[in-house]
Structure 1
Amino acid sequence: MGVSRFEGLIAWQKARGLAAAIYRLTSQDAFSRDFGLKDQIQRAAVSVMSNIAEGFERGGSAEFHQFLVIAKASCAELRAQLYVALDVGYIDQRQFDESMQQAEEVARLVGGLRASVKRQGTA
Structure 2
Amino acid sequence: MHRFKDLEIWRLSRKFCSDIYEATSSFPETEKFGITNQLRRASVSVPSNIAEGCSRKSKRDFSRFLEIALGSMYEIETQLLISNDLDFIQKNELNCLLQKLDSIIKMTSKFKSTLK
- Does TM, scored on the shorter chain, surpass 0.5? yes
**Structure 2 counterparts to residues 5-20 of structure 1, below 5 A:** 5-20=3-18
Alignment TM-score, normalising by the size of structure 2: 0.94
For 1:49, give the aligned amino acid: P
Report the Cα distance in structure 2 between the residues aligned to 1:29 and 1:77, rounded to whole angstroms.
18
Report the Cα distance in structure 2 between the residues aligned to 1:109 and 1:76, rounded to whole angstroms.
14
For 2:56, give the aligned amino acid: R
Which residue in the other structure is 1:106 paired with? Answer: 104
**Structure 2 counterparts to residues 34-73 of structure 1, below 5 A:** 34-35=31-32, 36-73=34-71
Report the Cα distance in structure 1 between the residues aligned to 2:31 and 2:53, rounded to whole angstroms.
31
Alignment TM-score, normalising by the size of structure 1: 0.88
On the 8 A contact 2:2/2:54 being kept in 1, the answer is: no
Query: What SS class does the counterpart of residue 76 from structure 1 fall into?
Result: helix
**1:29 shift after superposition:** 4.3
Kindly indicate which of the two structures has a greater share of residues assigned to helix.
1
Identity %: 31
Report the Cα distance in structure 2 between the residues aligned to 1:29 and 1:16, rounded to whole angstroms.
21
On the 8 A contact 2:43/2:73 being kept in 1, the answer is: yes
Gaps of 5+ in 2: none
Report the Cα distance in structure 1 between the residues aligned to 2:76 and 2:23, rounded to whole angstroms.
13
On the 8 A contact 2:21/2:40 being kept in 1, the answer is: yes
Report the Cα distance in structure 2 between the residues aligned to 1:22 and 1:9, rounded to whole angstroms.
20
Gaps of 5+ in 1: 119-123
Count of aligned residue pairs for this structure pair: 115
Q: Tell me which stretches of 4 or more aligned residues in structure 1 moved more than 2 Å.
A: none
**Structure 2 counterparts to residues 22-37 of structure 1, below 5 A:** 22-30=20-28, 32-35=29-32, 36-37=34-35
**1:100 shift after superposition:** 0.4
Report the Cα distance in structure 2 between the residues aligned to 1:54 and 1:61, rounded to whole angstroms.
13
Report the Cα distance in structure 1 between the residues aligned to 2:27 and 2:43, rounded to whole angstroms.
19
Q: What's the RMSD between the two structures over aligned residues?
A: 1.3
